[in-house]
Structure 1
Amino acid sequence: MAIENKHPLEQQNSPDRNGSGGSNGDGNNASTRRRNKPRRDGKGSNTKTNNPVTAQPSNSKARRSGKGAGKDSQALATQATDPNLATGDAADDAAAQAEGGIKAIGNQRIIPFMKIEKPMAILSLLMVIGSIIAIAVNGLNLGLDFTGGVSADVRYEQSVEQVDVVNALSDNGFDDAVVQYLGTSQELLIRLPPQSDNVDGLNTSLTKALTLADNNVEISNVNIIGSQVGSEVYLNSVMSLALALACMLGYVALRFQFKLSLGAVMSLFHDAVVTIGVFALFGFPFDLTVLAAILALIGYSLNDTIVVYDRIRENFRRVRGITPRQTIDLSLTETLRRTIMTISTVLLVVLAMLFLGGDGLYWFSVALFIGLIAGTYSSTYIASSIPLRMGLSRDDFIVKVKPEFEEEIVTFNDPKMFE
């Protein structure tokens, strides 16, 4: 009685042993009715709330449905009375595992990309080593832009095919000629290997070789490019590649995190070395157009990597309760559709240039095609697996409060509060 007089509100609102509500009116009425319907806030009934076994699957079901609050409460009430629905999540998880995915967040099935990161890392290492060996042993089949030679601007009275011009030059002793259109099918740029230094004699020989039946030709300009100029172009090209990689390293380090920047630069280095190694292995001509393709490839591959990194950073901040490996798998799964759509559209353009662009764009398209395949692969595995191996975690993306700005928490304990 002393407790009842001292705390009348506690006694009034406390439930009895039978699970009934408190007696707000009549204290002698012990036959109170249990609530069986859902609460008005849509959080289920008392039976469902007091049963932790059925509470967990019902919440996950409501989260996956994504429908209105009324339908959610109906589903919760139905599931509370039907114990067979409690095994639905286990069946879904088993089905997801059988399909190769991990069901971690809602209904999102994660593709385990990082499950085969070690075999892919070994494959990448072998490809890079093989490319370096091919470059060192075979060397590059450098074009006239790097070795020097002769370039001439030619104009015909009528339209002419590139193949006819190449055959005419080959019949007159000018082998390995490169012919490109300059705006129209009547103006062409012809590049030849190093010839004699006599410009007048070379002009006469070219005029005789380029003359076709019923189609007069006029040579407007003849330039002789020395080997020294070609060596300077080659050195500047190598410096441009190194500078591009260094700038990418700084950009990713400032925008994201240093661990991610190392992964991005290693993937870009992989793409460039593999593409150049294929050209060295098969003896494809390497000129300024191929170099331009490699520089464009670096920009494309970095853009694809930035999209993946942005989603990785977002998921590390947003999703909790999963490992860093699962976070990266989730990010790669969410960006997979975008990656497929992007590479498909770009490959359509590259294939169109490869088969319809003529000789001037042929090797440019070949370099882009090889680099796009390598870039898509490296953005998925190399750029993501290297930061994971370096210990990438959620702490790398969370802004920590400095000690001098932390608030002091003061607690006041009154012994009389518990009497």
Structure 2
Amino acid sequence: MAIDKNNPLEQQNTPDRNGSGGTNSDAANASTRRRKKPRRDGKGSNTQTNNPTTTASSKNKTRRGGKGSEQDSQALATQTRRVTTAIDPDLALGDAADDAAAQAEGGIKAVSNQRIIPFMKIEKPMALLSLFMVIGSIIAIAVNGLNLGLDFTGGVSADVRYEQPVEQVEVVQALADNGFDDAVVQYLGTREELLVRLPPQSDNVDGLSASLTQALALPNNTANISNVNIIGSQVGNEVYLSSVMSLVLALVCMLGYVALRFQFKLSLGAVLSLFHDAIVTIGVFALFGFPFDLTVLAAILALIGYSLNDTIVVYDRIRENFRRVRGITPRQTIDLSLTETLRRTIMTISTVLLVVLAMLFLGGDGLYWFSVALFIGLLAGTYSSTYIASSIPLRMGLSRDDFVVKVKPEFEEEIVTFNDPKMFEQDNIK
């Protein structure tokens, strides 16, 4: 040791921390002594060495083989919060304010600092409301029946052409003044050509054509009838049955599509939500006695397509979150998916409702009931995509295992044994 202290070269080659050489004590040399051995994990920095929180957490992870528990995560979060508070108190106050605001809004701050709206918290009251609406619609259809239009009951249709443009209201009023009530008038491309439909009249086509020509005549505007068709009640019944079969076929095709594309539990929820939308819309028409014709049927079929599209968007996000997010319950996963798709749902329903309201108030009599059916169905479809289509699969036990693909081994090793007859002969000889 004396030789090392008196060696001038050693004193020059070991400068102290302040840049001076050769005259430091043993304590100073010990403080500036570098680590000769590498760290256990081969990594590290001065921040880890000087930060007791990081050091403690790394020791715990090393001791437990890299597998942390929920208690360790909570303890680490508490320590990190304390360190953050000591460094920047304003940041901690901001996090507390965000948490308080999230709780005030009814959401929780769970995944990636994103507020989750607890939609499924009120799924039971919404399920009772849906059941009440479906039962009420079925009772209204059974008791009041549908006010079927001429497409289903039969009647008379005539193609009329005027010399000058006319309004539909004027034509309907002229027919009512001459004894032709409940007439339906639609434009055929231009405002001079119209389609007039009437309830069943007499079978005398010639006399009916003359009566219609006289009834359709307007002041300074002559009407010419080019074609008169009498539709029987049997044809109307066939159209009615074909319409019911088209609705059933559409629901069955939707069931098969969602079952193949996603999962059977989701497909059952989607079909029940579509049935809910259709039956509620038809029930409203039966309850208030609105006319139900082919245009209303077309609106219901369009509604089924729109509602399914909205449901598919929610289902796609549910499947993605079940595969991506771990550590939360299936209920929280569905709430997270509905929260993430809420903005898209609001934007979609807003834009579609603008178009429907424009048709309702500006489209005329030909699009009025079509728009009414779409308006009722859009409200029911948005509600059903949130609660019925999502809550039914949750009640059926939807979980992450339904979306995780189980990888099967390409081959399995088989144990093959060989029985040599000669070996048995040698054993018998011995």
User: Percent identity among equivalent residues?
Assistant: 84
Q: How has the CA–CA distance of structure 1 residues 33 and 82 changed in structure 2, closer, same or farther, with 3 Å as cutoff? A: farther
Matched, 1:197 2:218: no
Match of 2:428 in 1: none
Contact 1:155-1:188 within 8 A present in 2 as well: yes
Provide the rounded CA distance (Å) in 1 between the counterparts of 2:218 and 2:48.
88
CA offset at residue 196 of structure 1? 0.2
Given the alignment of the two structures, is residue 390 of structure 1 paired with residue 411 of structure 2, yes or no?
no
Any conservation in 1 of the 2:149–2:291 contact (CA below 8 Å)?
A: yes
> Are residue 368 (structure 1) and residue 389 (structure 2) matched?
no
Asked if the contact 1:58–1:80 (Cα under 8 Å) also holds between the matched residues in 2, the reply is no
Corresponding letter in the other structure for 1:245: L
Larger radius of gyration: 2
In 1: Cα distance, 2:213 partner to 2:365 partner: 22
Report what 1:17 is aligned to.
none
Q: What residue in structure 1 maps to residue 77 of structure 2? A: 56
Q: Does 1:110 align with 2:131?
A: no
Q: Does 1:82 align with 2:87?
A: yes
* 8 A contact 2:48–2:55 mirrored in 1: no
Count of matched residue positions in the alignment of Structure 1 and Structure 2? 364
Rounded Cα–Cα distance in structure 2 between residues aligned with 1:41 and 1:193: 92
Letter in 2 for 1:365: S
Alignment gaps of 5+ in structure 2: 1-25, 36-43, 58-73, 414-430
Contact kept in structure 1, 2:323 and 2:404, CA below 8 Å: yes
Residue 329 of structure 2 aligns with which residue? 323
Q: How far apart are 1:82 and its partner, in Å?
A: 2.7
Check 1:406–1:300 CA distance in 2 against 1; reply closer, same or farther (3 A cut).
Answer: farther
Equivalent position SS for 1:373? helix
Identify the match of residue 207 of structure 1 among 206, 213, 235: 213
Unaligned runs of 5+ in 1: 1-25, 62-75, 408-419
Give the structure 1 partner of residue 68 of structure 2: none
1:159 to 2:180 alignment? no
Quick check: 2:255–2:270 contact (8 Å CA) kept in 1?
Answer: yes
With the length of structure 1 as denominator, give the TM-score of the two structures: 0.81
1:250 match: 256
RMSD: 2.9
CA distance in structure 2 between the aligned counterparts of 1:298 and 1:42, rounded to whole angstroms: 60
The residue number in structure 1 matching 2:417 is none
After superposition, where does 1:224-263 map in structure 2 within 5 Å?
Answer: 224-263=230-269
TM normalised by structure 2 equals 0.79
What residue in structure 1 maps to residue 292 of structure 2?
A: 286
Post-superposition CA distance 1:14-60 (Å, at most 9, x none) = xxxxxxxxxxxx9996546999xxx769979533412558853698x
Structure 1 residues 135-174: aligned runs within 5 Å: 135-174=141-180
2-structure distance, mates of 1:291, 1:81: 67
Question: 1:275 aligned to 2:296?
Answer: no
The Cα offsets for residues 109-136 of structure 1, whole Å up to 9 and x where unpaired, read as 0000000000000000000000000000
Which residue is equivalent to 2:131? 125
Per the TM alignment, residue 262 of structure 1 is displaced from its structure 2 partner at its CA by 0.3
Report which stretch shifted further, 204-213 or 47-56.
47-56
Residue aligning to 1:8: none
User: What is the identity, as a one-letter code, of the residue corresponding to 2:237?
Assistant: S
| 1:336 match | 342
What SS does the corresponding residue of 1:50 show, helix, strand or coil?
helix
Q: Which amino acid aligns with 1:388?
A: L
